[in-house]
Amino acid sequence: MSTINNVYNIKIETKVESAYVSLKKYSEMTKIPFGTCRAMVADGRIIIRPKRRGKEMVEVNMIAMLKDAIINS
């Protein structure tokens, strides 16, 4: 569980179930269509685990996505 405090003294607690989830699972969790998620990976809006081989499954880095959301909110 993460606790986030910002300059407005608002406390937010969140729990990340897994550090990485498949793009399909991310699509289901966020209710964003899978094709849109693929486009978001391509343009950098979804942060993924670096792939070692081209055909590997795309895994969304949930920790990096949370950090990005905090920084950009």
Q: Which two tokens stand for residue 58?
A: 């795309």
Q: Is residue 14 part of a domain?
A: no
pLDDT at 2: 57
Report the number of distinct structural domains present in the chain: 1
pLDDT at 12: 73
For residue range 17-62, list pLDDT tens digits in order: 899 999 999 999 999 999 999 999 999 999 999 999 989 999 999 9
For residues 2 and 58, the model is more confident at 58
pLDDT at 41: 97
- Can you give the residue range of the structural domain that contains 49? 20-72
**Is the pTM higher than 0.85?**
no
Q: Is residue 32 part of a domain?
A: yes
pLDDT at 15: 83
Long-range contacts: 52-55, Cβ < 8 Å, 24+? none
